[in-house]
Amino acid sequence: MKSLLFTRCLLFTLCLLPVLLPAGDWPRFMGPNADNICTETGLNWDWPEGGPPQLWSLDCGESYSAPAVRDGKVIHFDRLKGQAVVGCFDAVSGVSQWTYAYPTAYRDRYGYNSGPRSTPTIDGERVYAFGADGVLSCLDFATGKKIWERRMNDEMPAPPDNFFGNGLPAVIEGDTLLLNVGGYEKGWILGLDKLSGKTRWQFDTLGASYSACVVKPFGGKRYALVLSREGLFVVDPATGKRKFQAHYPFRSRLRDSVNSASPVVVGDTIFLSATYGTGAALLQFTEDRLVQKWRDVDAMQNHWCTSIHDGGYYYGCSGRHQSEATIRCIEAATGKVAWENSSREFGRATLLKVEGHFVTLGERGELGLIEVNPGKYVLKYKIKPETLGLRPPCWAPPVIANGLLYIRSERRFLCLDLRKKTE
């Protein structure tokens, strides 16, 4: 299996360099706090012309999935020929530790790759992976052995006109696993027992989305924010009971549309954004309802990259198509655009905030470093995709864990070293 899955390029000299860096894992989609923010410090932002040193690279199966990282292990999710493969490799050397595979017949109806879309989730001694074909697997983190598995499409058949298969990561809150499944006009929000996989609660919606659930505290209690295809639901993650009788409608008028970006919570406010002519909205969470502070179709249209909040501003990529997409900064209080990169050099891009920078991966494979600056757009570095050996599309978001930067295209995975060398 190892020889079939990976071609490794190991640069062991770099592995042996001592570093001074606090540990920081990235065990789930959008990071430990579900905000696309890395809190590590002391990283190396003085890049040579070719970008950060490459620690290792590997050729892998097709996928749009970002990795999850914990305790020096990287969990990836790919498709190799007719199998969906969850694998684990050493974070520093890239050497495979274990793989788990199952047959899959999923085919993307739009001609994109047929690999996984969702990022694995590491919780305690378990790994959860949700495949494009609706297979939800729970595996042992140490060995990769299957603990339980459910085939959600067989239990709750998604309509045949479902967009891109299943694409949501499992979100763990306490002992509950949260998941939004379904298709265009029919979906379900589920709460499962994370240890057994059994359903604890569920309710119907008018369609599933590709927006990952976010759990945040409001008024001393934690609530799950689920942006389905029809709009935002606020749910008690333990019981599935809705906080408000009505949801907040947030849906494009186009039938061929999806919600993909996740809600962004700052204090008692919730920021939503989507493309397909939907725009953005800022809501305030109160005891009895969600109050709309503003809504603007032109402020921000996140496609699949969730915006990042910093100092009263939201930063994100706005635009449905590559040719029109811009990275922009908007005022949180009003939605007014503070700036955007009119040069559009990244196309549709994903952002990760760390130490006053946004590490940016464009869909054509450009790696960039942008200042967190509400006053103007400041691009510090832009590394060409051919320098990195990446081919488009690069739609998985970048990940930083313990000083290492992980980026990928559909079939190639890179680990770049951001650690500062000691004398």
Residue 112: per-residue pLDDT: 87
Both tokens of 339, joined, read: 């700036």
Q: What average pLDDT score do residues 200-227 get? A: 94
State yes or no: cis peptide before 48, omega within 30 of 0: no
| 3 state DSSP class of 5 | helix
Is the distance from CB of 374 to CB of 329 less than 8 angstroms? Answer: yes
In this predicted structure, the answer to whether residue 247 has a pLDDT above a threshold of 80 is yes
Q: How many residues does the chain have?
A: 423
Neighbours of 386 (CB within 10 A): 9
Mind listing the pLDDT tens digit for each residue in 35-77?
Answer: 999 999 999 999 998 999 999 999 999 999 999 999 999 999 9
In sequence order, the β-bridge partners of residue 10 are 56
Cα(148)–Cα(91) distance, integer angstroms:
26
Tell me the residue type at 258.
V
Cα(42)–Cα(23) distance, integer angstroms:
11
| Percentage of the chain lying above the pLDDT 70 cut | 93
The single residue listed with the structure tokens 């757009």 is 377
> Which segment of 101-105, 106-110, 272-276, 311-315 scores lowest on mean pLDDT?
106-110
Cα(44)–Cα(54) distance, integer angstroms:
13
Is the distance from CB of 395 to CB of 304 less than 8 angstroms? Answer: yes
Q: Measure Cα distances from 332 to 14, 97, 338 in Å.
A: 42, 44, 10
C-alpha torsion 55→20→46→93, nearest 10:
0
Is the distance from CB of 306 to CB of 30 less than 8 angstroms? Answer: yes
Cα(47)–Cα(415) distance, integer angstroms:
15
Residue 160: per-residue pLDDT: 55
Mind listing the pLDDT tens digit for each residue in 265-309?
Answer: 999 999 999 999 999 999 999 999 999 999 999 999 999 999 999
